[in-house]
């Protein structure tokens, strides 16, 4: 009987794996378990990831909030246009608008600094679960549990960095605390811009086409990584030399066709596939609606100033782009949740798990107690959410207040022993904190920020009792109605007129000063930061309690879920390097509609309106009209140039810029988006509808060679 049960269970797991063959953003150590050779992979798992040896992982980096890949021995990085966008915006002015016109450095000495950018390369990662589980084994108090996890994390990291100077270490939790890994990174701190196509190619279709198919965007850019002459990580210096990666990716000689096997190694941000109904309820009814409304308000203000002033438009461009992308993502998730009745489905799943435990009263009782704890902790989170959102709103609306709090908070934390400081304020974090202060000026347009900050304060003072921020109530006590609005407007205008924190040099000079010195300056933003500190600390203490409770109960829920599904669960994405695979494939979004997996240059021309975001550059129109496609024409696509393609690869935010590789590990595309139907894939993966969208490497090369005449790029990649 036992043997028969094992056979049935094995068959069930096999069928589950086959049915959802493309699902999962897997840890690199688990690739061998996927039996990929039987599914189309023609290289060994060791060629993708092998600690201590050059592998495909060695050619992948985390950069600019997305992913990039090395494509030459001289540190050339290929990534998305939208990943490099902020670096381009920071180097643009109303006179030299690199966003609009693009940028190209045909020699190394012409490359410009990608301000604020770093490249993180994963060297290895180690399972340290036992250390963490042992440390919290007997701790029942959730706040103490969280503090202990923070303490152990700092200790493990400090020990590793002391033993291996020159590397950065980070702890990442998997499966909601069931496992912990210590990741080892090499950080390249000097990144420069090499080649970015004009916005009419790199962002063709704009927000109209964002998250949509068919797509015709040349979403790619080239950066370069630099290190010191001895190969060590170093800040920008004219004496630095191009970084030599342990491995770089080779361009595929043969293009893709329908049903081809493809895979990705990248840095996906965050998925939430194992969340309970309580978490789904929070996102559906609180988080997404609030942020969607807030983003609408902010973008409205940005547009008002951008339409009147080109300098304002450039300063605010990166913020606007990020907010609009988040808006569409949040809106799509919210619509998707409601469309598939995700909340009801989660509730039904949880009921089914309970029913499966009916024959085991002890386990059923444990499961029911677990649900009671979930309800209690999320009920409290819902009560606290308005105040949490108000604090977030202050940071979003005023980067100057954010900088003031950063400087003020560091003045407090630096008085503590390093390992007792709050996360993010240790000595290892000082370069990061200073860089944040430096980057503010490149997106700061004071008139817009004054309006946004005033609007946020007006919202906060009108929140229900118990949800407002006490320090802000005290500032405007005694004012009501129009008088209250007037008092807020006057305070904000005066604060921005008097503050020293708009000047970057002044901020950096103040960073590291003691608290007494900062308060003696009598800057309005330092005074506000100090007044907010008690509220922020109370909120942080609740966060620790919330995290501590979830750290105890989520792993237990994962255990019940895993037993119910009868299979091995991949961990949710969390910003660490992951592997995903799938096939080139179209999809059917609705009745009588079928999407092909490839778009072509002809489709770009079809969308041309002559106005942004569908304005095709004249030279590209001429290339299409004369059919000057060179070797990039594909007979199967009516002798046209492929632009973008669909695949069943599982991806999410952070995967932008990830290399799409064929079965032989050769570069065939650069992932940049998902289809609208896949937005909900952060919560649930649908193999019939979820698709990743990538720019075809043939379009990248076509634009570089034929449109820009950047032969040096192709030559460096070994193609000329």
In a domain? residue 232: no
Active-site residue among 22, 190, 209, 219?
219
Is 522 within a domain? yes
Count of structural domains, the chain: 1
pLDDT in the model for residue 566: 85
Main-chain phi, psi angles of 63, to 5 degrees: -150, 135
- Active site annotation includes 656: yes
Task: Specify if 419 maps to a domain.
Answer: yes
Is the bond preceding residue 265 a cis peptide, omega within 30 degrees? Answer: no
Nearest residue to 696 (alpha-carbon basis) of 264, 75, 220, 247:
220
Active site residue 682: no
Question: Could you say which of 233, 411, 656, 678 is catalytic?
Answer: 656
Whether the CB-CB separation of 83 and 66 falls below 8 Å is answered with yes
* pLDDT tens digits, one per residue of 359-397: 999 999 999 999 999 999 999 999 999 999 999 999 999
Confidence of residue 568 (pLDDT cuts 50, 70, 90): confident
Is position 709 within any domain? no
CA distance readout (Å), 36 to 27, 160, 579, 580: 14, 34, 12, 11
Residue 370 maps to a domain: yes
| Tens digit of each residue's pLDDT (9 = 90 or more) over 624-667 | 999 999 999 999 999 999 999 999 999 999 999 999 999 999 99
The pLDDT tens digits for 418-471 are 999 999 999 999 999 999 999 999 999 999 999 999 999 999 999 998 888 999
Residue 490 has pLDDT above 90, yes or no: yes
Tokens of 259: 């049903």
Residues 422-435 have pLDDT tens digits of 999 999 999 999 99
From 58, 72, 81, 82, active-site residue:
82
Residue 204 within a domain: no
* pLDDT score recorded for residue 91: 97
Distance CA 695, CA 632 (A): 14
Q: What percent of the chain is helix, strand and coil (3-state, nearest 5)?
A: 55, 15, 30
Decide if 105 is inside a domain.
Answer: no
Contact 262, 660 (CB under 8 A): yes
Decide: residue 659, CB within 10 A, 0-12 exposed, 13-18 middle, 19+ buried. Answer: buried
The 3-class SS string of 354-382 reads HHHCCCCHHHHHHHHHHHHHHHHHHHHHH
Residue 119 bridge partners (DSSP): 63, 188
The answer to whether residue 663 is domain-embedded is no
State pLDDT tens for residues 210-230.
999 999 999 999 999 999 999
Determine the Cα–Cα distance for residues 80 and 63; give it in Å rounded to an integer: 10
Decide if 70 contacts 167 (C-beta within 8 A).
Answer: no
Q: Are 425 and 414 in contact (CB under 8 A)?
A: yes
- The stretch 141-146 carries a mean pLDDT of 97
What is the average pLDDT score of the chain? Answer: 94
Q: Are the CB atoms for 119 and 61 separated by under 8 Å?
A: yes
560 vs 566: CA distance, rounded Å: 10
DSSP 155-188: HHHHHHHHHSTT-EEEEEEEGGGTEEEEEEEEEE
pLDDT at 21 over 70: no
Q: Where are the alpha helices (DSSP H) in 428-480?
A: 430-439, 446-460, 470-475
Asked if the model's pLDDT at residue 112 lies above 50, the reply is yes
Q: Which domain holds residue 539?
A: 277-563
Q: What is the pLDDT of residue 650?
A: 97
- Per-residue confidence (pLDDT) for residue 18, from 0 to 100: 35
Helix (H) or strand (E) holding 233: none
């Amino acid at each position: 009987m036992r043997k028969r049960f094992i056979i049935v269970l094995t068959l069930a797991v096999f069928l589950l794996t086959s049915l959802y063959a493309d699902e999962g953003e897997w840890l690199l150590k688990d690739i061998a378990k996927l039996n990929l050779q039987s599914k189309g992979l023609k290289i060994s798992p060791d060629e993708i990831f092998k600690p201590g040896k050059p592998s495909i992982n060695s050619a992948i980096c985390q950069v600019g909030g997305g992913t990039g890949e090395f494509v030459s021995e001289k540190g050339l990085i290929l990534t998305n246009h939208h990943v490099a966008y902020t670096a381009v915006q920071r180097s643009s002015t109303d006179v030299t608008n690199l966003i609009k016109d693009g940028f190209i450095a045909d020699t190394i000495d012409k490359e410009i600094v990608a301000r604020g950018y770093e490249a993180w390369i994963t060297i290895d990662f180690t399972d340290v679960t036992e250390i963490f589980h042992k440390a919290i084994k007997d701790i029942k108090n959730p706040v103490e549990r969280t503090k202990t996890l923070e303490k152990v994390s700092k200790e493990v990291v400090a020990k590793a960095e002391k033993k291996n100077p020159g590397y950065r270490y980070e702890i990442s939790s998997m499966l909601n605390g069931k496992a912990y890994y210590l990741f080892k990174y090499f950080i390249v701190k000097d990144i420069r811009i090499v080649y970015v196509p004009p916005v009419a190619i790199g962002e063709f279709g704009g927000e109209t086409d964002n998250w949509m198919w068919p797509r015709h965007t040349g979403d790619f850019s080239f950066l370069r990584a630099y290190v010191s002459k001895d190969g060590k990580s170093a800040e920008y210096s004219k004496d630095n030399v191009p970084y030599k990666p342990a491995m770089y990716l080779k361009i595929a000689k043969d293009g893709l066709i329908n049903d081809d096997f493809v895979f990705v190694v990248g840095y996906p941000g965050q998925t939430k596939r194992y969340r309970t109904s309580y978490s789904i309820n929070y996102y559906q009814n609180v988080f997404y609606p609030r942020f969607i409304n807030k983003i609408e308000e902010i973008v409205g203000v940005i547009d008002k100033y951008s339409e009147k002033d080109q300098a304002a438009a450039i300063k605010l461009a990166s913020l606007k782009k990020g907010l609009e992308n988040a808006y569409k993502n949040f809106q799509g998730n919210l619509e998707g949740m409601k469309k598939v009745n995700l909340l009801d489905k989660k509730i039904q799943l949880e009921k089914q798990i309970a029913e499966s435990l009916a024959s085991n009263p002890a386990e059923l009782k444990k499961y029911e107690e677990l649900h009671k704890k979930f309800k209690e902790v999320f009920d409290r989170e819902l009560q606290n959410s308005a105040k949490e959102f108000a604090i977030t709103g202050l940071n979003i609306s005023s980067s100057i207040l954010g900088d003031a709090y950063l400087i003020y908070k560091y003045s407090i934390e630096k008085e503590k022993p390093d390992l007792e400081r709050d996360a993010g304020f240790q000595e290892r974090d000082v370069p990061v904190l200073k860089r944040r202060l430096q980057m503010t000026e490149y997106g700061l347009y004071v008139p817009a920020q004054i309006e946004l900050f005033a609007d946020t304060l007006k919202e906060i003072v009108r929140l229900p009792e118990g949800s407002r921020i006490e320090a802000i109530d005290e500032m405007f006590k005694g004012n009501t109605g129009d008088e209250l609005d007037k008092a807020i407007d006057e305070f904000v205008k005066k604060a921005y007129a008097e503050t020293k924190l708009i000047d970057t040099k002044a901020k950096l000079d103040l960073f590291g000063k003691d608290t007494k010195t900062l308060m003696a300056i009598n800057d309005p933003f330092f005074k506000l930061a100090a007044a907010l500190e008690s509220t922020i600390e109370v909120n942080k203490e609740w966060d620790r309690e919330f995290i501590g409770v979830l750290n105890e109960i989520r792993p237990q829920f994962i255990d019940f879920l895993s037993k119910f599904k009868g299979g091995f669960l991949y961990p949710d994405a969390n910003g660490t390097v992951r592997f995903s695979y799938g096939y080139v494939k179209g999809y059917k979004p609705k009745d009588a509609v079928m999407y092909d997996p490839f778009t072509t240059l002809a489709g770009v021309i079809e969308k041309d309106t002559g106005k942004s975001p569908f304005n095709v550059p004249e030279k590209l129109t001429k290339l299409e009209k004369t059919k000057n496609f060179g070797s990039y024409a594909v007979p199967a696509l009516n002798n046209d140039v492929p632009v973008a393609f669909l695949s069943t690869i599982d991806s999410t935010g952070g995967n932008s810029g990830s290399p799409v590789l064929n079965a032989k590990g050769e570069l065939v595309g650069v992932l940049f988006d998902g289809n609208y139907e896949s937005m909900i894939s952060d919560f649930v993966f649908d193999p019939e509808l979820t698709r990743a969208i990538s720019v075809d490497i043939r379009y990248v090369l076509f634009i570089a060679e034929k449109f820009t005449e950047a032969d040096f790029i192709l030559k460096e990649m070994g193609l000329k």
